[in-house]
Structure 1
């Protein structure tokens, strides 16, 4: 259901929990919103989403697009591009993915090339646990990515003295002991230890999720094996590390990804987004930018579908401008960052991922249409498209009539399957049909 009542608040008969789906307007919720709830939702709409977003290990080298958590239009309130949970003034807003948990975790698996959810695990049917499951999937993906080559180890120099040498002889220390009348030798050896701040943060985060997820099968065999090693090293009561300790720890090129996994673990533990209800004056929460996940999922699927080089267009190295000065060509206006560029010299196609529905009474959003036209003209590509997640087998009218001729470009509006193989197959067909037409 798009929205439903939580349990009653004894103080005033108000609900303390509101469950909705992302991109679902209030007009389609299963009940009207009360006057008090309108005021409460207004408070949430004024919050900046940035402090609550946990897409840490998926971030790319560009400024993320910040939209309000909620907005209002002619259909009333609408949740935007985030899924998650916000606790504010004693009540909770839960935004679940309209495409389902399995779809979102499948995108994370494709993006990071790891199996986010073990095949032996199952999802709970309790809608309120969806946020817990998604956050655990995001954390699990971060840890599995970090541990692809090595565990978070550090080097320690252990000094010992005796009649035998263990490691390397420490000449200065031995000379000092001989000068004091002792006859033993001092030696040093290097020991690799998993007892470090990054390991402590990951082990504590694992305990955090284990208390909130039914059964132990949510980890999977590989993660279980890695965590068994880290638990042994950290001991029964690992110390909660500071963020400074995590960031300043010594990482090798092989283990540097553990810094990001540890930072995500620390933030989950420190902010306790799945903890008990907030008091009347505090605001806590966790959000996942699902539009960014869709963008990166499309990027990876295009890479699998094309033989041409594929770049993430949202970088300084792959951007364009709407206009340049005729007096000073170094000056430009209106920097453009399409999501996906196919080909290099020349660029043969571009796509912009849109995590929204295509179709309905509004059709293609006018701003999106103008944006696509600006992209195709600026980059002078023969082929450009807006890519939406497919929500049904029926093709929207705008896609049925694609491609559309605009100047020297063919513009398409395509709905892509939300699972990897189907998405790649449709992209192969789309790129191939346009190769044939050229």
Structure 2
């Protein structure tokens, strides 16, 4: 689907193209012109890494980087990202086919916090939709960090006088005495919220407040936390550098504030709304929806079974395609399935695919081989590729599942995008209850 009307007034914007992910060019409302085809090809050559905005979501692994756009038998299609890219004086907006509310519900499920920014139904502006998703990621990250404590850090404060206030600073006192002063220098550590992470979060909050004016997007819990930080940082907090945020000393209960502050810093420095339309340089912000789908499936699987569920994409739960007979320490082909079920041994595994299942494409050959490699390496009797359910039709691949192999059964599942229904279908596939 493409749009060339970008405002509520219906003003034409020939320099703006709006498409939806999971929808190939063959199904867009109007085919791209030859000029737009060339421009889309230049978008496909961009490296998305510098534009991807991710909260990391408490998962320590290298992000998967795929092209923003690829071309297949149905023409151009968006891959794993939604968002906005401004390139060569034109703008590409990729909106979620599943709707903003669905993506926000995934974030709520993943982090177990309620995300309640302004819904897409209240706006017709595509950029506002991108900002809402950014706000949802940011809000969830801050609420997760604030579950146990606010980002309080210690600052050393020096005082001068006839009495010691804290610890005597012998060196500084000696230097003062040598200069003719008679007072003592003492130091003490003051706990404060006026620090690099606190300032980054407060400034990001102001950014969203400007772009979501009038929206009740914070909620009472977030407003309570932010009011404390605002009082501490003052009316004009200085923008911290990324280095200041990273070198701040965090305790075990405040360490999640580092990620919230880093996300805030990236939002402030990637500002997709602050670039002039005539700017020929490339700017933008992208959100990795495939990562969100992967983690949504992981959490639904955890709710669907009483067995331990591991995130296979982490370094703690991985396997190898081959191991040397001569030297068993040497391995080849490290494998990271998304979801592993079982404690002593793997009884089931899932690999989430944020793409369509069925139609002319069917199951990608690479995905089929990948799933078989996972199943044989982890000796999983049940293995499946998990796709979002975005059509009313059941694909032939799912209709004929499971498929028997030499190591076990492979299935192709389209999972509901709503949590309770997704959990129910996974329970049925696991054979629980």
In structure 2, what is the equivalent of residue 125 of structure 1? 123
Q: Provide closer, same or farther for how the CA distance between residues 328 and 125 of structure 1 changes in structure 2, counting only shifts above 3 A.
A: same
Paired with 1:110 and 1:7, the residues of 2 have a C-alpha distance of 32
Matches within 5 A, 1:14-29: 15-29=14-28
Contact 1:348 1:381 in 2 (8 A): yes
Change (3 A) 1:39 1:407: same
**Structure 1 unaligned runs (5+)?**
none
Deviation at 1:394, TM superposition (A): 4.4
- Partner Cα separation in structure 2 for residue 400 and residue 358 of structure 1: 11
Matched, 1:382 2:381: yes
Equivalent residue of 1:317, what SS? coil
Q: Retained in 1: the 8 A contact 2:51–2:270?
A: no
**Residue of structure 2 in register with 1:140 after alignment:** 139
Q: 2:232 maps to which residue?
A: 233
Aligned to 2:244: 245
Question: Counterpart of 1:233 in 2: which secondary structure?
Answer: helix
Partner residue of 2:153?
154
| 2:100 paired with 1:104 | no
- Aligned-pair distance for 1:181? 10
How many residues end up aligned between the 2 structures? 426
The residue that corresponds to 2:112 in the other structure is: 113
* Alpha-carbon distance in structure 1 between the residues aligned to 2:383 and 2:147: 36
Counterparts in 2 of 1:137 and 1:182: CA distance versus 1, 3 Å: same
**Counterpart in the other structure of 1:170:** 168
Which stretch shifts more, 244-253 or 153-162? 153-162
C-alpha distance 412-160 of structure 1, shift in aligned 2 (>3 A): same
Could you tell me how far 1:393 is from its partner in structure 2?
5.0
Paired residue for 1:47?
A: 46
CA offset at residue 221 of structure 1?
0.6
Contact kept, 8 Å, 1:278 with 1:284, in 2: the verdict is: no
SS at match of 2:237: coil
SS at match of 1:211: helix
Higher mean C-alpha displacement, 81-90 vs 239-248: 239-248
* Corresponding position: 1:324 with 2:323: yes
Deviations 1:272-316 (A, max 9, x none): 122233544310011111111111111111112222221111233
Q: Take 2:392 and 2:24, find their aligned partners in 1: how far apart are those partners?
A: 22
Q: Distance in 1 between matches of 2:387 and 2:253?
A: 37
Q: Which residue of 2 aligns with 1:81?
A: 80
Q: Distance in 1 between matches of 2:30 and 2:179?
A: 86
Contact preservation (8 Å) 2:275, 2:283: no
Q: 2-side partners of 1:4 and 1:76: how far apart?
A: 17
Shift of 1:4: 0.8
* Partner SS for 2:347: strand
Aligned partners of 1:163 and 1:328: how far apart in 2?
A: 71
DSSP-derived class of the 1:347 partner:
coil
> Is the 2:354–2:387 contact (alpha carbons within 8 Å) kept by the matching residues of 1?
yes
Which deviations, in whole Å up to 9, do the C-alpha atoms of 1:307-348 show, x marking residues without a partner? 222111123332223333343333333322211111132211
CA contact (8 A) 1:89 1:278 kept: no
Change (3 A) 1:243 1:397: same
Q: For each residue in 1:331-381, what CA deviation from the matched residue of structure 2 results, as whole angstroms up to 9, or x when unmatched?
A: 333322211111132211111111111122332222222221222122211
Separation of aligned partners in 2, 1:7 and 1:221 = 33
Q: Which aligned pairs between 1:249-268 and structure 2 lie closer than 5 A?
A: 249-268=248-267
Aligned: 1:359 with 2:355: no
Is the 2:55–2:137 Cα contact (8 Å) retained in structure 1? no
Tell me the CA shift for residue 189 of structure 1: 4.4
**C-alpha displacement at 1:235, in angstroms?**
1.3
| Larger mean Cα displacement after TM superposition, 249-258 or 82-91 | 249-258
* Runs (5+) with no aligned partner, structure 2: none
